Amino acid sequence: MNVRAMQRDEKAMHRLRLRRTRLVLRGLLRDGGTGPALYVGGILVVFGVLPAFWVLGELLAEPLHGVVRAGADRVALGASAVQALGLWAGIRCGPALMSPFSAHILMATGIPRAQVLGRAALRNMTLGTLLVGITSASLILSASRGSLEQGAAGGPTLLVVLASVVLGGQASLAWAVGQRVGPGAASGIVALILVLSGSATLWSPTILLTTGGWYGLLATGQVPTPADWMLLAAAGALTACAWVMYRALPSGLSSVPTTRIMVQAQRVESALLLAGGGDLRRAAEATRSPPRRHPPMRLGHSVQKATHRRLSAVSVGWRQDAAASLRHPGQALRSVVLLMAAGMVAGLVGPTTGYGGEDVVSGTAAMLALCLLLDAGLAGVSPGLRGLQEELQAAPLFGWSRRELTVRHGLWPVAVASPCVLIGCVVAGLWWPEHEGGIGAGGWSSLEAAAQGACWAVAAVVVMFSCRLLQEVTSRDAPLLGIPPVPTPVGDLTGVLLLLGSIRGVLTAAAMLGALAVLIHEPWTQVAATAVLAAVAALVSLLGAPLLAESR
Amino acid sequence: MLAPLDADLPAGLLSAVSGPNGSGKSTLLSVIAGRRPLSSGLCLVDGRPPDETSGRFREAVASFIDTPPLARDLTVREQLAVVGASWWADRDPWAGADDQLIALDAAHLSGRFIHELSAGELQLVMLALTCHRPSSLLLLDEPERHLDEERITQLGALLKHRAQAGTTVVVATHDHRLLEQADRRICLAAADRTP
């Protein structure tokens, strides 16, 4: 960092110290703990709990038949869009708007971090609540304009206004959630909400998966008589939501956004220092993506809570794994989608459905596609051996059991991937019931067949994960630059060999799964294809091993 | 890797293990830490064989044999707080975070990130992290690495203080100052170098 920049920072820090003194004198700085919690609690009660009970009470007394006859899916989509808007506003209007460098300088002045971020968060939360409240009211009123005339005068208008207020409250809750999660996670949640709501137009039962969908059902009177269990469920959901928000936001104000900004500030500071020293390459590295493994402060909170509850290292570690997987929500979402797609392929080409029928080429291609999808999906949820090595080194410091760590690293990817693959299997059966052997065609009609299909899906995950692990063991830390060139008359084939080497785990897994399918279901037409896959995998391993060994 | 050895490491003493390279100093510490089984013989810690799967054992034994991984986006003080938070649920994780740094005369490092530390300062931080967690048996493998003479003397005083407070401290070292401060010295014989 040059002298002029240092002098500028010094002046900025001096100004901030003076500013802080003035704020303290005015009594404007308060602790970031109790105040925000009470603020959120008040918003919850005023905008969420009370209106919801009012609306439900009105429903019990006078059901909404006739207010809106149809279009529950559109109401659901609109309501979900408002919630997504609230979530998006939360992440855009939060403390993250504070520039990393100014946050770093602010925190370097000795002001408690919660106070640095708390005031900005409270101000933005007020603005966000107003924004989503007004937007939701406008949306609901415009969506149900024509239907107001159909109901009794006064009653429906009041209900619609109350519903908009409730929706605004929910959107503000989503906004508060947006304060806690990062932009990537929020994007994933927004996408999930909208996809679930939008899918109701294609397949109506998914309308039950979103709160907006329940709004739609209630608004169109498609829930015939709101019974006591509905009231209890709604009250329970609201209470749980209130509790979660009450617990989440204080820590969100004082911990997570702080951590996020800490990371940003540290990276920018590192980049400035390194760039000032002329090391531009490392400066660029410092501003690159954040560390991939456990978010440290969340790790601290997680470990603290887990220790308090006397949980084992496995439980703690699984929470760390979950936090680590969700740290890159885009990657996590991609993994889930890929694994579900793999499950759909597994459901279509598994032994229950005849391993692709009689077509050798399509069957083999499907098996390769299954393994490629599994491989790509597992990449996002499998921490890899490097992560295990780091945790094993950290074990003496934190008192973790090395054996439990190893077991957990093996179980976690399988435990996460298996449900996704199973869901994909079921979805494939529901979407293509006419497929030979599908659910609709009787393939999974019996409990035994369903169990066989589930075992097949889990076995595919286990086999693919084992092959990934094996490949990682044999080729990890192989520097790309150290791999010798393979010159041929048609050019350098290093890239081709690298490609083959990187997918030899996929080839091995495809061959193993093919052999498994042949053994279980006896589609003897696939024996030749399986043998070819096994031969290619063996050849690639034989070619790749000396190449990688030479590179070390 | 470790020649036959018969030794008793009493509680409340600073014991130093010395010997030439390859004599098995680190191996001995790994055996005591329960991370390496004995091919023959018996090792007892507090009357029981080292059992790394036992939570009680892991809580009792703190070791600095391998380099612990450090989070690059945390300051030194925050690293200490994370360790503290993992051990004391009913205590402020920041409490005592500076004590170890002060004892090693490294309080000025508390606000720094890992990439801002020199090799010697990094060694001090890792020693502080190891000493920060609770333990009744402290195992340190060559803690004097990268440290200057003054810091080694301070480290010896800190370890002596820990031992007097009741912790069993075992140090594998080549440094004569640490050896001089030790209450008990164990010198391992050179390994058989016959190919």
Residue that terminates a domain, selected from A212, A237, A263: A263
Write out A94-154 in H/E/C secondary structure: CHHHCCHHHHHHHHHCCCCHHHHHHHHHHHHHHHHHHHHHHHHHHHHHHHCCCCHHHCCCC
State residue A30's pLDDT score: 34
Distance separating alpha carbons of residues A168 and A131, to the nearest angstrom: 9
**Parent domain of A249:** 33-263
Identify the three-state secondary structure at position B141.
strand
Contacts by residues B42-51 (CB-CB < 8 Å, ≥ 24 positions apart): B45/B137, B46/B136, B46/B137
> DSSP state, B68?
P
CB contact under 8 A, B52 and A402: yes
Q: Which helix (H) or strand (E) holds B15?
A: strand B14-18
Packing angle of the helix pair A183-199, A72-93 (nearest 10 deg)? 180
Where is mean pLDDT largest: A314-318, A450-454, B71-75, B103-107? B103-107
More confident residue, A278 or A423: A423
Residue A360 belongs to some domain of the structure: yes
Do A338 and A242 fall into the same domain? Answer: no
Confidence band (pLDDT; 50, 70, 90) for A57?
Answer: low
Cα-Cα end-to-end distance for chain A: 38
Position A214 pLDDT exceeds 60? yes
Output the CA torsion sign for A107, A109, A110, A111: negative
Identify the three-state secondary structure at position B127.
helix
Q: Give the type of residue at A500.
A: L
Cα–Cα distances in Å, from A221 out to A60, A71, A72, A489?
12, 11, 9, 74
Of all residues in chain A, the one with the smallest CA distance to B128 is: A397
Q: Provide the domain count of chain B.
A: 1
Of all residues in chain B, the one with the smallest CA distance to A297 is: B82
> DSSP state, A49?
I
More confident residue, A56 or A544: A544
Cα–Cα distances in Å, from B47 out to A137, A365, B6, B25, B51?
72, 61, 15, 22, 12
State residue A306's pLDDT score: 45
Tens of pLDDT, residue by residue over A352-401, are: 554 545 566 667 777 888 888 888 888 877 766 767 777 788 888 877 77
More confident residue, A347 or A422: A422
Residue A22 belongs to some domain of the structure: no
Tens of pLDDT, residue by residue over A323-357, are: 666 666 777 788 888 888 888 888 777 655 545 45
Mean of pLDDT values over A98-104: 45
In the numeric block, which tokens belong to residue A103? 């946050």
Position B10 pLDDT exceeds 70? yes
Identify the three-state secondary structure at position B48.
strand
Position A89 pLDDT exceeds 80? no
Residue B28 belongs to some domain of the structure: yes
Do A507 and A374 fall into the same domain? Answer: yes
CB contact under 8 A, A307 and B82: no
Q: How far does Cα A5 stand from its chain's mean position?
A: 40
Position A428 pLDDT exceeds 70? yes
Residue A245 belongs to some domain of the structure: yes
Sort out which chain B residues have CB atoms less than 8 A from A402's CB and list them: 35, 52
Q: Which of A73-82, A297-306, A505-514 has the lowest mean pLDDT?
A: A297-306
- B186 forms beta bridges with B17
Sort out which chain B residues have CB atoms less than 8 A from A399's CB and list them: 55, 58-59, 86-87, 133
Residue A18 belongs to some domain of the structure: no
CB contact under 8 A, A296 and B74: yes
- The interface pTM score, or ipTM, of the predicted complex is 0.77
CB contact under 8 A, B35 and A290: no
Do A357 and A502 fall into the same domain? Answer: yes
Confidence band (pLDDT; 50, 70, 90) for A483?
Answer: low
Residue B160 belongs to some domain of the structure: yes
Residue A451 belongs to some domain of the structure: yes
Residue B124 belongs to some domain of the structure: yes
Residue that terminates a domain, selected from A243, A263, A283: A263
Tens of pLDDT, residue by residue over A185-209, are: 667 777 777 777 677 666 666 666 6
State residue B123's pLDDT score: 92
Distance separating alpha carbons of residues A89 and A179, to the nearest angstrom: 9
Residue A374 belongs to some domain of the structure: yes
More confident residue, A536 or A123: A536
Residue that terminates a domain, selected from A206, A236, A263: A263
Residue A62 belongs to some domain of the structure: yes
Q: Of A334, A333, A367, nearest to A459 (Cα)?
A: A367
State residue A311's pLDDT score: 43
Do A252 and A344 fall into the same domain? Answer: no
CB contact under 8 A, A393 and B67: yes
Q: Give the number of other CB atoms < 10 A from CB of residue B4.
A: 7
Residue B26 belongs to some domain of the structure: yes
Tens of pLDDT, residue by residue over A150-178, are: 444 444 455 555 565 566 666 666 666 66
Position B169 pLDDT exceeds 50? yes
**Parent domain of B21:** 14-187
State residue A173's pLDDT score: 64
Position A259 pLDDT exceeds 70? no
> A544 with A478: CB under 8 angstroms?
no
Query: Which of A299, A320, A397 is the best residue to mutate to test the B interface, defined by the most B CB atoms within 10 Å of its own CB?
Result: A397
- Mean pLDDT, chain A, as a whole number? 61
Cα–Cα distances in Å, from B40 out to A520, B1, B36, B190, B191?
47, 12, 12, 19, 17
Do A368 and A513 fall into the same domain? Answer: yes
Packing angle of the helix pair A402-431, A384-398 (nearest 10 deg)? 140
Tens of pLDDT, residue by residue over B19-54, are: 888 888 888 999 998 888 888 888 888 888 888 878
More confident residue, A148 or A495: A495
Of all residues in chain A, what percent carry a pLDDT higher than 70? Answer: 26
The answer to whether A110 faces chain B, any CB pair under 8 Å, is no
Cα-Cα end-to-end distance for chain B: 13
Packing angle of the helix pair A211-219, A183-199 (nearest 10 deg)? 30
Q: Provide the domain count of chain A.
A: 2
State residue A31's pLDDT score: 33
pTM of the model: 0.49
Residue A314 belongs to some domain of the structure: no
Distance separating alpha carbons of residues A448 and B19, to the nearest angstrom: 66
Position A37 pLDDT exceeds 60? no
Confidence band (pLDDT; 50, 70, 90) for A253?
Answer: very low
Packing angle of the helix pair A527-551, A504-521 (nearest 10 deg)? 150
Tens of pLDDT, residue by residue over B116-164, are: 888 899 999 999 999 988 899 999 999 999 999 888 988 998 999 999 9
In the numeric block, which tokens belong to residue A289? 């993506």
**Domain with B116 in it: what CATH number?**
3.40.50.300
Across the interface, which of B58, B85, B113 has its CB nearest the CB of A303?
Answer: B85
